[in-house]
Amino acid sequence: MRKGWVKTTVEKLVNQKIIEKPLDGNHGEIHPKKSDFTESGIPFVMASDLVKGAVNQETCNFISREQAGSLRKGFAKNGDVLLSHKGTIGRSAILQTSLDYVVLTPQVTYYRILDNSVLDNRFLYYSFHSPKFQNEIKKIAGAGSTRAYIGITQQLQLHIPIAPIAEQKRIVAILDEAFEGIDRAIANTEKNLANSRELFESYLNTIGSIPLF
């Protein structure tokens, strides 16, 4: 462990009031069903809606605000770090929303920072993507099984590395820049491929228009 770093657990972070106790969506009879979905309303976020570090709030399912108000937990707020823990294990995203909350399915847990002088939410997000964390959560959850699952009690035992806050922010800045560069490279590659495909098709069309005799 590097100087100034501490290896801790989710439970210890909760006890130290650095994060809230993580919560997932509603189980059992009050869990919203497909027949409850509406065309608009409160986003109802499942694991598949965590895409490239963000929450897709356009193609996700929605429930009415009235039904959302009848639920007892799973209310994620802006800035929360989300983690998938059922079926699809280990996806993570940072929620960005102008709504007062979105609702999580039982597939997703929110992690809410209470003391950002100790823990940065983007550092926690990147920690969730580290190979050690991914290996730990998938081993506990039984990844590879169709019933892969890690409940809140087990999540409390997960290990989180904590660096001094200044170093957290430095690491986050480096990783943000690196991933932005990767995204730009991918976008440029896709654009070049599209241009090459158009050029290739235009040549084929030109050849096809030439009389053979």
pLDDT tens digits for range 111-152:
999 999 999 999 999 999 999 999 999 898 885 556 789 999
Q: Whole-prediction pTM value?
A: 0.82
Q: Output the pLDDT for position 49.
A: 96
Distance CA 92, CA 172 (A): 15
Among candidate residues 4, 89, 101, the one with its CA nearest the CA of residue 45: 101
Helix ranges restricted to H, the chain: 10-15, 65-69, 121-128, 131-141, 152-155, 165-209
pLDDT tens figures, 48-102: 999 999 999 999 999 999 999 999 999 999 999 999 999 889 999 999 999 999 9
User: What count of other Cβ atoms lies within 10 Å of the Cβ of residue 177?
Assistant: 10
Evaluate whether 62 touches 38 at the Cβ level (below 8 Å): yes
Percent of the chain residues past pLDDT 90, beyond the cut: 70
Phi, psi at 158, each rounded to 5°? -65, 145
Is the pLDDT score of 11 beyond 70? Answer: yes
Q: Output the pLDDT for position 203.
A: 44
